[in-house]
């Protein structure tokens, strides 16, 4: 499918989704969010890792489109926020690993998009933050909740209340970003990580992601019960039989995701 504001490229089992409005610093307007929602629903079945990044050299996503938001009524703002939440939830719920390659400004909706991915790698040029209070609103695409779960309540409050932009090094220090890379090496690093992932069982990876997410809001005993059941469920799968047979035969496994 052809899109106006996003671009999806696939190489083998790895897909890269570009937010591609460089003249608007990749800001998320309604059209872009709708295209993201459509793309996430229709990812090719053979994609096993998705990398999300920004088109151009300046921005990952500079935020939601303020030019569009400024004229919204209360009811329209509710609809816009609901669309943003659906997109972030759809990204978060993908059964495959998702990697945010933050290559520049990731402010407001940009940070929210990155936080909806499984993990974040950032360019040394990246700037992250949730500055919405300076516009008289709050993060509206899940930022208050996902940031709190990643960096803790007090640090999330500090960032949201001040509206501060932080550099990639600070984002790594507080646990928002895993690694900081030179700008010209960011995508290569993300792809190298993706290549490691796709060598493993897609069935097991999907189940591990499901268990981590399901257990995050449970107490330890309940979360461990979720893990125990999922562990047992994988036995008898083709991937489990192939993985263990390959190990015993001292050869690389060939996984099918079944």
**54 and 109 share one domain:** yes
Closest by CA position to 20, among listed 30, 8, 10? 8
Question: Are 178 and 211 contained in the same domain?
Answer: no
192 and 206 fall within a common domain: no
CATH number at residue 209: 1.10.12
Q: What are the tens digits of pLDDT across the range 101-149?
A: 999 999 999 999 999 999 999 999 999 999 999 999 999 999 999 999 9
The answer to whether position 32 is within a domain reads yes
Residue 160 lies inside a defined structural domain of this protein = yes
Domain count, the chain: 2
pLDDT at 40 over 80: yes
Task: Tell me the whole-structure pTM to 2 decimals.
Answer: 0.95
Identify which of 109, 95, 131 has the alpha carbon closest to the alpha carbon of residue 54: 109
Residue 108 and residue 44 share a domain = yes
What CATH number corresponds to the domain at position 143? 3.90.226.10
20 and 106: one domain?
A: yes
To 10 degrees, what angle do helices 238-248 and 202-216 make?
A: 120
Measured between alpha carbons, how far is 43 from 91 in angstroms, rounded to an integer? 11
Residue among 9, 112, 158, 179 flagged as catalytic: 112
Q: Known catalytic residue: 132? A: yes
Distances (CA, A) of 108 to 79, 98, 189, 230, 246: 18, 19, 25, 36, 46
Q: Are strands 165-167 and 127-129 parallel, antiparallel or unpaired?
A: antiparallel
C-alpha to C-alpha distance for 180 and 127, rounded to whole angstroms: 11
| CA neighbor of 51 nearest in space, from 198, 234, 162, 236 | 198
Q: Tell me, yes or no, whether 233 and 123 share the same domain.
A: no
pLDDT tens-digit readout, 177-226:
999 999 999 999 999 999 999 999 999 999 999 999 999 989 999 999 99
- Residue 26 belongs to what domain range? 6-198
Q: Which residues pair with 19 in a beta bridge?
A: 6, 54
142 and 227 assigned to the same domain: no
Which one is catalytic: 132, 173, 195, 249?
Answer: 132
Task: Please indicate, yes or no, whether residues 25 and 142 belong to a single structural domain of this protein.
Answer: yes
Which residues lie below 8 Å from residue 32, measured CB to CB, with a gap of 6+?
Answer: 5, 6, 19, 21, 26, 65
Please check whether residues 17 and 98 belong to one and the same domain.
yes
**Mean pLDDT of the residues in the chain:** 97
Question: At 154, phi and psi to the nearest 5?
Answer: -65, -45
Q: Please give the DSSP secondary-structure letter assigned to residue 127.
A: E
Inter-residue contact 53 to 3 (CB < 8 Å): no
181 and 216 assigned to the same domain: no
């Amino acid at each position: 499918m052809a899109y106006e504001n996003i671009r999806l490229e696939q190489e083998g089992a790895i897909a890269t989704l570009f937010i591609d409005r460089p003249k608007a610093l990749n800001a998320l307007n309604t059209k872009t969010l709708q295209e993201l929602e459509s793309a996430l629903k229709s990812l090719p079945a053979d994609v096993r890792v998705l990398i999300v990044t920004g088109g151009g050299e300046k921005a990952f996503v500079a935020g939601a489109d303020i030019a569009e938001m400024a004229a919204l009524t209360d009811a329209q703002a509710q609809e816009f926020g609901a669309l943003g939440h659906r997109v972030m939830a759809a990204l978060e719920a993908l059964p495959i690993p998702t990697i945010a390659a933050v290559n520049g400004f990731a402010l407001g909706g940009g940070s929210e998009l990155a936080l909806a991915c499984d993990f974040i790698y950032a360019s040394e040029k990246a700037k992250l933050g949730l500055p919405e209070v300076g516009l008289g609103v709050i993060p509206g695409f899940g930022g208050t909740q996902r940031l709190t779960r990643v960096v803790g309540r007090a640090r999330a409050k500090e960032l949201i209340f001040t509206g501060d932009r932080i550099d990639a090094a600070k984002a790594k220090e507080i646990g928002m970003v895993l690694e900081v890379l030179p700008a010209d090496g960011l995508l290569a690093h993300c792809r190298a990580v993706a290549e490691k992932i796709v060598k493993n069982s897609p069935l097991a990876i999907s189940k591990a992601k499901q268990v981590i997410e399901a257990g995050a809001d449970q107490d330890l005993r309940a979360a461990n019960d979720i893990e125990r059941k999922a562990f047992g469920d994988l036995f008898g799968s083709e991937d489990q039989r192939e993985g263990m047979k390959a190990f015993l035969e001292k050869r690389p496994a060939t996984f099918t995701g079944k």
